[in-house]
Structures are given as C-alpha cells and as structure tokens.
Structure 1
Amino acid sequence: MTSAPGADLAIGIDIGGTKVAGGVVAADGTVSRRARRDTPHRSTSPDVVEDTIVAVVEELFAAVGRERVVAVGIGAAGFVAADRRTVVFAPHLSWRHEPLQENLARRVNVPITVDNDANAAAWAEWKFGAARGETHTMIVNLGTGIGGGIVIDGRVQRGRYGIAGEFGHMQVVPNGLRCECGNRGCWEQYASGNALVREARGLIAARSPVANDLLAGVGGDPSALTGPGITAAAQAGDPTAVELLAEIGHWLGVGIANLAAAFDPGTFVVGGGVSAAGPLLLDPARETFRRQLTGRGYRPMARVVAAELGNEAGLIGAADLARMDSAGLELP
C-alpha cells in the first residue's frame, strides 16, 4: 500500500506471554495511541494469537487513520529466526516455526517487520531511553519469563541464527526447576514474574502465617495473586512481599554477574513488568551483582538501571525498527 502524504507513524506490537500490547509511535519514540488484548495463554492454535494481533492493529488503524501508518513492527516473545520472518519457538505461546511475518502480511496491508520482543526493547532503550550514549548495552526484561537483548555500537546483536539474547534460558541451578523450554534450572525460573507469583503461592500452600496478609489481599483466593499485586503490597510495606522481591532481585544479580563475565557491558537496563518494583528489586540485584562479579574490586562495574520506557519499550522499538525497514534503511 502506498502511504498518504504526511504519513509519519508506525505501529508497534509487543507480544508477551499474557498480553498483546500495541501503540502508535512517532519518529521520536513517543506513543500517541494504545490498545491491548489478553493473550490466549497456552492456546493450541497459533491462529488465535494472530487474530489477537490483527485486532489490536485494526483498533490502532481506526484511531489514527490507516493511511498515516508506514509500517507495523512486531516484537514477539520467542526465538525469531535470522530472516526476521519466522518465530522458531516460543516457550510461553504455541508458535513452532511459525511464519508470522507472512501470515500477518496477508491480513495487514502495510509493511510488516518481526523481531524478538527483547531485541526491540533493547533498541528502544538504547535510542530513546536509559542507555542513550552507551556503547555496550544489555537489557534484561523480567516479565512472564526473562527476555534479553544486546546493543553494541548502535547495532542489535542477534547472533548467527537470530536467537542471541535468550538469557532467561541460561542454567543457573544445575538440575533445578523444570522450565517451559524443556530444560531445568533456567534463570527465568528464579528471577521473573512467574517465579515471584510461584514463590508467594508456595508460602500460601504451606500455610505459612507470613503469607496471611498477601492471601487476605486477594480475598483468600491464591489464584488471584499476581506479580503487580505482590509489588503493590511490598511498596505498601508488607514484609513478606518485600522479602519475595528481594529474593527475585538476588537471582537477578546472579544472572547479570554471569552476563558481565561473558560480555562486559557498560550498562544493564532492567525492564519488564517486574521492574516496576524499582529499588525493592534493583537494590538486592546490585548488591548480589557486586558480590558475585568476577574480578570484583579490580575492574569497572557496569551500571544496573531501570528501564525508562517501562512496559512500552518493546512496542516502541518494534515500531522504530519497522519504520527504518519500510524506508529501506539497513536495520541495526
């Protein structure tokens, strides 16, 4: 489709384990319109997730005018192949070698660009957010699982097969908890939104009195307990919620110390929904990072900072990459 004169907007779509979030993004990274749908979690049909994506895109087209949109960028929570067309594997969704770009292009009559959601978020934080001016950046997104992205000298590092940055599936505990990816002991089993909720529900299942206030806060229904709810309780001073976030922060620090040994970045940007806990999460993470960093005391230590773009980093980055792609620019 040929865009109308004055078309200057891109739509970014961020597909997580629990939601599809979309936004209309200007060239300076600002988001003017938003739309959201719940992800049909563990749906056996990729078509259902695809339908959800299209519904969000159509809502945003209606809000700003389809003729003003130059491209749609998709940030997918999964392993995206080097062709940036295919989702090879998504631990929290039903995609297996899914030709997502081709499928959406048949239904959305604007150029489509697909990338990993954390790569998109890393690009956004480097260009518009917390990592501006940094030569070596790593983003760690704590959501349903853990996503990661790497930007070095202004280029996203995707690896030979497009699957670099899957930090959440590093093994941190030999023979540890089973992960949805099929392995055991993956980092995201200890430092993610799912891990936070699992630990809280475990205390409730054990009938621990320290979890009484958390249980009362959800009307006695453990299934109603959520990561944002635990974070809110911690921010209100609930000691058990504070302790649970500190434990997640500890495991976050373990993982970034390992990443620092391998990549030596200047800045770690921590994003995703769990990062809304702020210092309750990041202070324990920084302390563990400081204690476990190899060569500590004899080398510079990377900054560990909160993402500035919040939960919208993925859709902002996806939109910006799509805009560049539609303009014929080499993607970073």
Structure 2
Amino acid sequence: MGSTFFITGQEVRQAARANSHTSTTAGLAPGHIQANLIVLPSKYATDFRTLCQRNPVPCPLLAESTKPGCWSAIKSCIPSIPSTTLINQSSDLDLRRDIPRYMVYHDGELDESAEHTDLFTHWRDDDHVAFLIGCSFSFEAALCEADLAPGHIVGGMNVPMYRTTLPLNPAGVFTGGTYVVSMRVYKAQDIDHVRATTAPYASAHGEPIAWGWDAVSRLGIADVLQPEWGDCPLGPDGKELEFGPQDGGGIDCGEIVPVFWGCGVTPQEAVMRAGLQGTAMAHAPGHMLVLDCLDEVLKAQ
C-alpha cells in the first residue's frame, strides 16, 4: 500500500491531488490524523452539527469550513486543538481534490455514473459546507505500536465496513439513520488491550462499541464475510477469514473474534436516509483526508 512512502499528511494530499494515489489511505503517513469528509448544502449545516453532537461515537466532529463555499480553509471544532494544528499555515488545502476518491449524492441518491477523483464540477462556491469527521485510521498507529496491527494493514487492504440496525439519535432532517461500523479481527485474549489502546481516541471513534461473534447479530449485520464497503475481513495474520458465526466463530482458529467501532461512513448513510435536496459529497469509504497534525493530539479529547 506504500505506507512508508508517504511520511506526512501533505504528501498524501499532494499525491491525491495529482491522482498518483487513488487507493485507500489506511496505513499512509503513520501517526497523522485521518478524517472523513461530508459536504452539504448550507441549509442542512445546523442539523448536521446537531446530529454530530447527539452521536459523538460514530460522528465525532473535528472541523468544518470556515464559511459556506470555502474549500481551502477549515476551523477546528475541538476547543483544545487550533485550526492551524490540523492544517499547517505553510500547507495548502483543497477539499475538492485532496482525497483519493469521492462519493457524490444528488437528492440523496448516490451517483455511480463515474469514479470521482475530484469535486470540481459539483462544488458550489456560494453554498457548500464541508465537515471533517474523526476516523478510526487515526488510532491504528497506536495499535501497531502495541503489537496489535489490524489485519487489513498487515494484508494491505481496506478495512471492512457494515450497515447496522443500531439507531442514531435523530436531528432535524436527519431521521431514521443507523450506525455504520468498521471491523477488525483480534484474538479474544487481546480485546482488553485493544479497548485500552483505542479508548483515549474519542475524537476518532474511541474504543469499540461491540465485539464477539454474538455482536454480529446484535448489530444486525447480514453477513460478516460480505461487508457493504471496504474489503473482505482479514484475521490478525492478514489472511482472509473463511468462517463466520454460523461456523462457530473463531473457536477453531485461536479464538479470534470480530471487533466493531463506530465509522465515519455513518453520515453518508444518514444523508441517503434523509433524502436531502441538492448535491452532497463525501470521501469514498477508506479514502480519507490526511491532516498535518499527529494523532496524539486527539488522545483524551
């Protein structure tokens, strides 16, 4: 995946801008904050902020546009973190092209007619408001340092992500939404260590919301081997799983179990459920905006 090639967030953004890197950002610029993007018409901005406030686990709000239509500057939504820490003053930013791949929604429907590597033709300079949501990729460097490297990093893949039936707290036009979760597979004996390692990163979804094979049905996940986004789940060794809860879980494979976190694709699902009018935009799942600051600043925020 080239994770050693990109050392800084700016390098990742420049590669995305040049279309020289169009795949997942998992493992890139280790130790740097990665963020989900959602861009909405300004009339929905207040409701979306409220949605994030009411659902801080799947939708931890990091920053937003400095004003409607602005794609080159963001303001921090975390009081203890200055905006210039997220994006250095010496760096430039273009939210329309600094992510490897994007999703575009028209009146709540996903535009699948083309692969979107930039947002030039869709962004309205007089209206769109961008929001940055914390991403679990931001705590993966800590997992690696704790000898708990996620299987998708080991195997060079994208993290698997799933729709659930776990409801969001509604806000304004955003009603009927449910959590999206990401999954990493671990040995059962490592769960407490995994929880303790990720818990301080509340602004990057924090500790897992569920784990164990029984969690698959409790979350309403149809098939753990068939994620809605990302790649097929990999075990801690980076090899593809070939069993699920119907096979007795991980009993025959060293007691490995799935572990689920809140996921920043959740706002995209909320947009589709709400059927918003106009054009909304977002990152493609697994393709994040990599910021200039280190993920250590998110600890205990």
Q: TM-score category by the smaller chain?
A: 0.3 to 0.5
Q: Which has the higher helix share?
A: 1
Q: Which has the higher contact order (CA 8 A, sep 6+)?
A: 2
TM-score normalised to structure 1 length: 0.31
